[in-house]
Amino acid sequence: MLSIGVDIGGTKIAAGVVDDEGEIIASTTRSTPATDPALIEAAVADAVVELRADHEVVGVGVGAAGFVGADRRTVNFAANLAWRQHPLADELERLTGLPVVVENDANAAGWAEYRFGAATGAVHMLMVTVGTGLGGAIVMDGHLVRGGAGFAGEIAHMTAVPDGQWCGCGRRGCLEQYTAGTALVRTAAHRAAAGDPLLDPLMAAAGGVREEIDGPLITRLAQQGDPGSVELIGGLGSWLGLGMASISTLLDPDVIVVGGGVAAAGDLLLDPAREAYAANLTARRHRPIAPFVLASMGNRAGIVGAADLAR
Ligand SMILES: [Zn+2]
């Protein structure tokens, strides 16, 4: 049985025909006309028409970066796209004539890891995506946890530090402000501004310009063994472990999957996370310690997860 998965990002729409094994057997892309919902739908429909011309498909799953209603039809809000209480599934069904389900993009990617990727074989999974921001997906007893309104799994905005760093959501001290790329860059810039000699190689790699320091640069230098960058990534990992220990106290997952751009640092991120996790987990001497594993589906995850959820 084949279905189409669509991953709507801020700049690119990626779509593919996916089989029962989670393999993408045909794919296509369009650019995202981010400011106009009707144009986004037209671009998605156009991609679907192209793909179904050569393949018999049963439905379409769409992963979108935003708050998606628990009915999997409406996008309530998207920070980077022009959707407000938008009936995306209805519109796409009208344009394509196929059944459509809509899912939050982090949930779609997490579902792909659970079904076909790093969490295959697990029953209870926690996935965290460490990129510029922090994303989360929760699978419990084989089901994606969406919550009453569809807003579950937004781990980025759990309070980590009362009265801590201001967050883009309007509150202070959210976990995302300590465990994502923005935190990495902010910490690096502070320490560089204070003249921390450990960050001299990073500053040199940034051409002496503090504003040029970004997550990929820190990750790359860490991979090359630069002690200052290794320490920065490790600090992020420690916060990640602490945050996951807190979530595990509630959810008790079998496995914790870590994806996103910062995960390219591999064990430089995961080892400090594992250590902080084990040190902060409730009843840690009397329970299994969930392993931290790297996501394995890469940028296919959004398409594959959305397609599988449409079946
Ligand atoms: Zn927040």
Q: How far is the CA of 227 from the centre of ligand 1 (A)?
A: 30
Q: How far is the CA of 180 from the centre of ligand 1 (A)?
A: 12
For residues 255 and 134, membership in a common domain is answered with: yes
Closest by CA to 70, choosing from 107, 15, 99, is 107
Task: Give how many domains the chain has, as a whole number.
Answer: 2
Mean pLDDT value across the chain: 94
In a domain, 304, yes or no: yes
For residues 45 and 160, membership in a common domain is answered with: no
For residues 102 and 155, membership in a common domain is answered with: no
Question: What pLDDT sits at residue 17?
Answer: 98
* d(C-alpha 57, C-alpha 81), whole Å: 27
For residues 151 and 184, membership in a common domain is answered with: yes
Q: How far is the CA of 181 from the centre of ligand 1 (A)?
A: 14
For residues 107 and 203, membership in a common domain is answered with: no
% of the chain beyond a pLDDT of 70: 100
For residues 147 and 288, membership in a common domain is answered with: yes
In a domain, 45, yes or no: yes
pLDDT value at 251 more than 80: yes
Question: What pLDDT sits at residue 39?
Answer: 92
Q: How far is the CA of 158 from the centre of ligand 1 (A)?
A: 7
**Cβ neighbours for 174, distance < 8 A, ≥ 6 positions apart:** 156, 157, 158, 159, 160, 164, 165, 167
In a domain, 234, yes or no: yes
In a domain, 117, yes or no: no
In a domain, 20, yes or no: yes
Question: What pLDDT sits at residue 247?
Answer: 95
pLDDT value at 77 more than 90: no
Q: How far is the CA of 161 from the centre of ligand 1 (A)?
A: 11
For residues 133 and 98, membership in a common domain is answered with: no
Question: What pLDDT sits at residue 51?
Answer: 97
For residues 145 and 260, membership in a common domain is answered with: yes
* d(C-alpha 109, C-alpha 305), whole Å: 5
Q: How far is the CA of 287 from the centre of ligand 1 (A)?
A: 31
Question: What pLDDT sits at residue 36?
Answer: 85
Q: How far is the CA of 155 from the centre of ligand 1 (A)?
A: 9
For residues 99 and 153, membership in a common domain is answered with: no
In a domain, 17, yes or no: yes
Q: How far is the CA of 178 from the centre of ligand 1 (A)?
A: 11
Q: Which residues surround ligand 1, an ion (CB under 5 A)?
A: 157, 167, 169, 174
Give the angle subtended at the CA of 3 by the CAs of 306 and 58, to the nearest 5°. 125
Q: How far is the CA of 134 from the centre of ligand 1 (A)?
A: 10
The CATH number for 197's domain is: 3.30.420.40
pLDDT value at 34 more than 80: no
For residues 35 and 95, membership in a common domain is answered with: yes
Question: What pLDDT sits at residue 169?
Answer: 86
In a domain, 221, yes or no: yes
Over residues 115-138, the pLDDT tens digits come to 999 999 999 999 999 988 899 999
Question: What pLDDT sits at residue 243?
Answer: 96
Tokens of 142: 């084989």
In a domain, 116, yes or no: no
Q: How far is the CA of 173 from the centre of ligand 1 (A)?
A: 7
Owning domain of residue 37:
2-111+300-310
Question: What pLDDT sits at residue 168?
Answer: 85
**Cβ neighbours for 169, distance < 8 A, ≥ 6 positions apart:** 157
* d(C-alpha 110, C-alpha 189), whole Å: 32
For residues 143 and 85, membership in a common domain is answered with: no
Q: How far is the CA of 50 from the centre of ligand 1 (A)?
A: 39
For residues 137 and 231, membership in a common domain is answered with: yes
Over residues 277-292, the pLDDT tens digits come to 999 998 888 888 999 9
Task: Report pTM.
Answer: 0.92
Q: How far is the CA of 33 from the centre of ligand 1 (A)?
A: 27
